[in-house]
């Protein structure tokens, strides 16, 4: 059975987030310093710009190949399930970031724990939807 527009879109978002922020964290985390520096900001902006370009171009390609972007009840159920799972990850990550802020100097670790929690929550949300599509419910 061919993948739906939503399923292809989820794969695109999952892989681009994993690759984009995986490369970002791989480049930035060895540079641990007490504070966020301009080179960190430049790398972050570069990662976001690359992510936007990949996702826009990818979604344009998917839309050209699959002209049926309609959603049904199943898609909405999978999205709700993913959002529920992501909310637990995000809440835990925010708590971890706040603890990090209390226990460390500067803002480098705090901002990166918070960013990692957000990225992980997005991956869990999308991953939950992909698992639901794979299992058929």
Q: Express each pLDDT in 14-58 by its tens digit.
A: 999 999 999 999 989 887 788 888 888 999 999 999 999 999 999
In this prediction, residues 51-76 reach a mean pLDDT of 87
pLDDT recorded at residue 1? 57
Angle at 126 between CA 123 and CA 132, to 5 degrees: 130
The pTM of this model reads: 0.89
Contacts of 130 (CB under 8 A, 6+ apart): 7, 10, 11, 14
Per-residue model confidence as pLDDT tens digits over 78-104? 999 999 999 999 999 999 999 999 999
Calpha distance 74→106 (Å, rounded): 45
What is the chain's Cα-based Rg? Answer: 17
């Amino acid at each position: 059975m061919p993948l739906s527009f939503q399923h292809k879109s989820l794969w695109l978002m999952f892989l681009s987030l994993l690759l984009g922020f995986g490369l970002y964290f791989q480049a930035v985390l060895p540079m641990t310093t007490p504070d966020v520096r301009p080179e960190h900001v430049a790398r972050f902006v570069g990662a976001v710009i690359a992510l936007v370009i990949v996702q826009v171009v990818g979604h344009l390609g998917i839309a050209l190949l699959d002209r049926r972007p309609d959603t049904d009840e199943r898609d909405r159920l999978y999205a709700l399930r993913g959002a529920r799972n992501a909310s637990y990850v995000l809440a835990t990550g925010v708590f971890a970031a706040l603890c990090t802020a209390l226990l460390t100097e500067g803002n480098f670790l705090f901002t990166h724990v918070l960013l990692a929690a957000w990225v992980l929550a997005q991956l869990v949300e999308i991953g939950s939807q992909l698992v639901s599509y794979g299992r058929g419910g």
